With several copies, the nearest count.
Chain A
Amino acid sequence: MKEIRIHARAGQGAITTASLLGYIYFLKGMYPYAVPHFGAARMGAPMNAFVRVDSKPIRLRSQIYEPDYVLIVDATLMRGFNCFSGLKDNGIAIINQREGVEIPKVNARQKVFLVPANDIALKTIGRPLGNTALLGAFAAATGEYELEFLVEAIKKRFPAGLQDPNIKAATQGYEFVKNSTKG
């Protein structure tokens, strides 16, 4: 069983990201359970979403306190509070890079990947929606799934016009990490 926690601000598509990530696992034939953690707050307020996945149906319904992976859609959230809380000590964090936000120290076995997802998105999609780029990076960083599944998910879930741009974004996110890791 793997547990992923996604941090974002209400309105930044944490839920779409969670459900897209879940859908990738679904395509892999696994049993994901994706659920948002709603507060009562509005656009701009911090919120998060959870994805829990296993090879058999997920029954555990609690929130995620000790994620294997954290995906931080908005780096400014790290100013507010600790997005890394409970991250497994071999855990991996993928962060939508943003200047002027310093990254908390992590222990030796934890990995942090800074991905310029919004810049990628701006170039590929034309709007600063880094979610697909982040999921590309996630694939490369965690090896949870091959890029193909993400591409297929995008094809299934996005309206025609938005598929190619998002596939581009996903691929570039993927490559960004691949390159940064090798050498």
Chain B
Amino acid sequence: MFGPLISKPGSSKSNKTGSWRVEIRPRFLQKNCIACKMCLLICPEGCIEGDAKNTYHCDFTYCKGCGNCAAICPKADIEMVKEETKE
């Protein structure tokens, strides 16, 4: 007989940590983006996507609003805004 023992790969995605975001969230301006990928590299949640310039954005289902993407962006093309702000 077996009880809880092993977990399925990547199953954490069912845990929507976006709800943890209470104060601020990033806004990807997609104006001066040079596609340096730094935001994508630095995101602790690994929830940023993008390929070409000005295509980078994050998945708010998981984004915890830490602000590192905004901090690292060489073009200040990401800004942190109040959670409530509408796009």
Contact = CB atoms under 8 A, between A and B. Distances in A.
A76 interface: yes
Nearest to B19: A80
A168 interface: no
Contacts of A45: 20
B22 A76 contact: yes
Interface string A126-161: 000000000000000000000000000000000000
Interface in A14-69: 44-45
A99 B22 contact: no
A11 to B, nearest CB: 10
B84 A74 contact: no
A94 to B, nearest CB: 18
Given A9-B20, A80-B19, A44 B64 contact: yes
A87 to B, nearest CB: 22
Interface string B27-71: 000000000000000000000000000000000000010000000
14 contacts: A9-B20, A9-B22, A44-B17, A44-B20, A44-B22, A44-B64, A45-B20, A74-B22, A76-B19, A76-B22, A79-B19, A80-B19, A99-B84, A100-B84
Interface of A: 9, 44-45, 74, 76, 79-80, 99-100
Interface of B: 17, 19-20, 22, 64, 84
